[in-house]
Amino acid sequence: MHGHDVIVIGASAGGLTALKVLFEHLPADLPASIFIALHVHADSPALLPAILEKAGKMKVVMATEGARMRHGFAYVAPPDRHLMLDRNGIRLSVGPKENGHRPAVDPLFRSAAMAYGPRVVGVILSGMLDDGAAGLRAVKACRGTTLVQDPIEALYPGMPRNALAYAQVDYCKPVEKLASLLVKLASEQVADPDNFEVPESVKIETQFAMMERTMKDMKSLGKPAEFVCPSCHGSLTEMNDGTMLRFRCHTGHAYSAEALFAEQSSDLEEALFSAVRAVDENAALARRVAERYGAGNPRAKAEHETKAEELDKTAKILRKLIVSRNGEAVRK
């Protein structure tokens, strides 16, 4: 008989602090395997296993392709790889980013739910935006158990709050109490662990993360959206995911509404700065032309000086818009 022995954890900003507390309170002989997707940059040094092993008693290793899971071990997603699971063991994927991240939380949670159903415990810790909320829904849909760090305690409450808003959460507790709960769940036998159905959308999205699906498979996920993918500029599909608004492009990049808005906002800021640069350069050129005409053609000189002044006013408006947008982001 199996306990709840497949524990998948997702975290982002502030997640390292939460993970250290969690591992401090987990025993070395936990009758479960832990799999961790923490948002890190592609070129980040692979230090997380050593940090977590030092913080607690469990053995913590970097996940490797094809490794079989062992109880009492924690496996960490390498930088720039999705950590995923199937019945044969660990899979690592360079598949499309989800919510702007690789590793992302949702692919780990979906693949675990698809492979192990009721044996899975999904845990969302501190982080911004809402990566993990869709994955937690998949865990619940496959009869798994869902845990969320209390947003009041989280350094960055976005991921926990969105998980609570969009997923059916079984337990919401401070991290130290989540650790005690994980020990309890891991020791409890799961009734009928192989009796679960995987929603077709979970299968398809898991296969997208493994680069095993193509554009023709998008029709079953939803309807065409009027937006394009910020990563590859392909057309986006608005997915049918209940109350949660989500999008995926035909190459596989996936976004929640919040993640897509954040990516679009970043693109807009870049466009505004490019506009400021172009306007400033145009104004500088107008002044240079005015100087060139000099006293020999006062009318042309005056026209270009006027152009330069108008361009300066435009650049000033653009700069105020950038400051206003960034100030609003800080207030939020």
Q: Please give the structure tokens belonging to residue 239.
A: 């997915």
Q: Answer yes or no: 39 catalytic.
A: yes
Three-class SS state of 40 = coil
Q: What is the DSSP letter of 144?
A: -
Number of other CB atoms surrounding residue 291 within 10 Å: 11
CA 144, 87, 207: angle at the middle one, nearest 5? 80
Q: Answer yes or no: 12 catalytic.
A: yes
Residue 330 φ/ψ, nearest 5 degrees: -65, -40
Give the active site residue among 82, 131, 201, 304. 131
Give the active site residue among 39, 82, 101, 250. 39
Which of 6, 222, 258 has the alpha carbon at shortest distance from 133?
258
- Give the contacts of 259 (CB within 8 A, at least 6 positions apart): 99, 100, 129, 130, 131
Residue 266 φ/ψ, nearest 5 degrees: -65, -40
Give the active site residue among 12, 33, 111, 201. 12
Q: Answer yes or no: 86 catalytic.
A: no
Residues designated catalytic = 12, 39, 131
